[in-house]
Amino acid sequence: MSVSVEKSVIARITKFGNKFEILVDPEKALEVRSGKEMPEEDWLATTEIYEDSHKGERASEEDLKKSFGTTNVSEIAKKIITHGDIQLTTEQRRKMIENKRKLVATLIAREGSDPKTGHPHPVERIMNAMEEVNIKIELGKKADEQIENVVKEIQRVLPIKFEKIEISIKVGAKFGGKVASVVRNVGRVKKEEWQGDGSYYCVIEISAGLQDELYDKINGITHGENETKLLN
């Protein structure tokens, strides 16, 4: 197991009057709870199901079978993570909420833009708007699942729009491979051509908020030797 027991926390559930505990990495356990798939050794500190983890008392096979219908540690641990309580300290919870808040703001900045300028709002500006309208971030819910509600609330104090734009890009042969890899990961390639002189041309559809990021990446690869044009 790669999770340190010393840094782990208790995840607990009670079934049929019996208490069951496991030791887990707090952040990764919450990611698993929200639906992320990862090997159990990345979030489970031991392969034991306890009745009382502080005393090191293991749950009996009889109680496990009665409560979970199995004695398989992996299956039981996943059920405890999904349906039980994860015992976080106040500081752990504060830090994790702040990290998820920043992730939500970053995703909004990537997808949305300022209607006045067409450019993305800085992440800090979005976070300030979230604080102003008192946004509550849910630890057990994925960041991208919270975007819709957050945007709805912050639009009361921060104009923001979501739209798709199309950009044409042309670069010389020596940059084509790297640029093609970038655009395929940033948005939807609607047209792509390797021209007679070896140059690379494409039309890509992206969220308006990603426009500056895309230009920065292309300029970084080509040192400014490129042709880009906003098509809509």
The correct answer on CATH 1.10.240.10 for the domain covering 90-154 is: no
Mean pLDDT for all residues in the chain:
92
The answer to whether the CB of 190 falls within 8 A of the CB of 166 is yes
Token reading at 182: 């970038």
DSSP assignments along 102-150, one per residue:
HHHHHHHHHH-B-TTTSSPPPHHHHHHHHHHTTPPPPTTS-HHHHHHHH
Residue 164, beta-bridge partner list: 207
Q: What is the pLDDT of residues 113-126, one digit of tens each?
A: 888 887 889 999 99
Q: What is the pLDDT of residues 205-227, one digit of tens each?
A: 998 878 888 999 999 999 999 99
**CATH node for 5-86:** 3.30.1250.10
| Of residues 12 and 91, more confidently modeled | 12
DSSP category for residue 161:
B
DSSP character string of 63-104? HHHHHHS---HHHHHHHHHHHSEE---HHHHHHHHHHHHHHH
- β pairing state of 200-207 and 226-230: unpaired
**Residue where the block lists tokens 């890509």:** 204
For residues 187 and 113, what is the distance between their CA atoms, to the nearest angstrom?
A: 16
Q: Is domain 164-230 given the CATH code 3.30.70.240 in the classification?
A: yes
Alpha-carbon distance values, 228 to 164, 169, 173, 205, 211 (Å): 16, 5, 15, 13, 11
The overall pTM is greater than 0.75: no
Question: Could you identify the residue written with the tokens 């798939």?
Answer: 37
**For residue 97, what are the contacts with CB-CB under 8 A and spacing of at least 6?**
137, 139
- Read off the pLDDT band of 1 (50, 70, 90): low
Domain-by-domain residue ranges, the chain?
A: 5-86, 90-154, 164-230
